[in-house]
Amino acid sequence: MTEFDWKIRGPEVSTCNCNWGCPCQFNSLPTHGNCRAGVAMRIDEGHFGDVKLDGLLWAAMFAWPEAIHLGNGEGLMIIDERADGAQREALLGILSGQTSQPGATMFNVFASTLVTVHEPVFAPINFEVDYDKWTGHFSIPGYIDAHATPIANPITGESHRAKVMLPQGFEYREAEFVSSHTTGTGPVPLDWTDGHGHICEIHMTPNGPVG
C-alpha cells in the first residue's frame, strides 16, 4: 500500500453494550450476541501530512449483528464541524482505515468488518474527560449522548478500578475500564445502561499504537 504520514494523540472515550470488561478485549464473544458501540476522541496533537489536526474531535457509532469479526456491520463517522476542507478529508482518510497498514489500527480492522458506511456527519462534538476521576462524556446533538463513570462496587458503592494492558492491541496499549450509559439515534441507534466503557490515551500512526 501507499505509505502515509499521519499521527493522532489524545484522550479517547469508548463505550459498548457488552458487560464491563468487554469480551472483545479477550477474543471472546459479545455478551448479548451482538455489538453496538460509540466512541469519541479529542486530538491534542495530530497531523496528516502537512495538515494539522490539533484540537479537533471525531466520533463514531457502530453496530454489528454478531461478533465484530463476523462482519456485516455498519458505521457512522462524525467529524468536528470546525474542521476545514483539508482537515475533513484528512480525518476521513484516517477513520476509513485506508491509510493504515493492514490490521495495524482499529480503523483498518473495523473498516474490514463493515458492509454499510453511512454518509459522514459534520457537527459540533461535546467532549469531556477527567483522568483523576476516570469519567468521560461526549455528545453530538441529534446523534449520541454517552457517559462513562467508574465501575461501582456492588457492596460499598465505591469505585472499582480496573486497567487492562494490551501490548499488541490495535487501539491502545493501556486503558482504564469503566461503566457506560449511551443513547443514540439516527442511522445507528444505540441504547444501554451499565455497559462497558474504557478511557485511554490514543497515540496512533499508520503502523498502529505507539508506546
Q: How high does pLDDT run on average in the chain?
A: 96
List, in sequence order, every beta strand (DSSP E) within 43-133.
45-48, 51-52, 57-64, 73-80, 114-117, 121-123, 126-130
* Residue pointed to by grid coordinates 439516527: 186
User: Cα(first)–Cα(last) distance of the chain, in Å?
Assistant: 24
In a domain, 1, yes or no: no
Average pLDDT over residues 85-113: 97
In a domain, 118, yes or no: yes
In a domain, 110, yes or no: yes
Q: What is the pLDDT of residues 108-143, one digit of tens each?
A: 999 999 999 999 999 999 999 999 999 999 999 999
Task: Give the pLDDT score at 145.
Answer: 98
Q: What is the pLDDT of residues 41-80, one digit of tens each?
A: 999 999 999 999 999 999 999 999 999 999 999 999 999 9
In terms of phi and psi (left: phi > 0; alpha: psi -120 to 50; beta: otherwise), the region of 195 is beta
In a domain, 171, yes or no: yes
Task: Give the pLDDT score at 9.
Answer: 98
Over the Cα atoms of the chain, what is R_g? 16
The reported pTM is 0.95
In a domain, 164, yes or no: yes
In a domain, 144, yes or no: yes
Are the CB atoms for 180 and 146 separated by under 8 Å? yes
Local structure of residue 120 (DSSP, 8 states): P
Confidence of residue 3 (pLDDT cuts 50, 70, 90): confident
Higher pLDDT, 81 or 154: 81
Q: Which SS3 state, helix, strand or coil, does residue 92 take?
A: helix
Task: Give the pLDDT score at 1.
Answer: 55
| Total domains present in the chain | 1
Are the CB atoms for 31 and 16 separated by under 8 Å? no
Q: Rounded to whole angstroms, how far apart are CA atoms 170 and 60?
A: 17
Q: Which domain holds residue 11?
A: 6-209
Average pLDDT over residues 131-160: 95
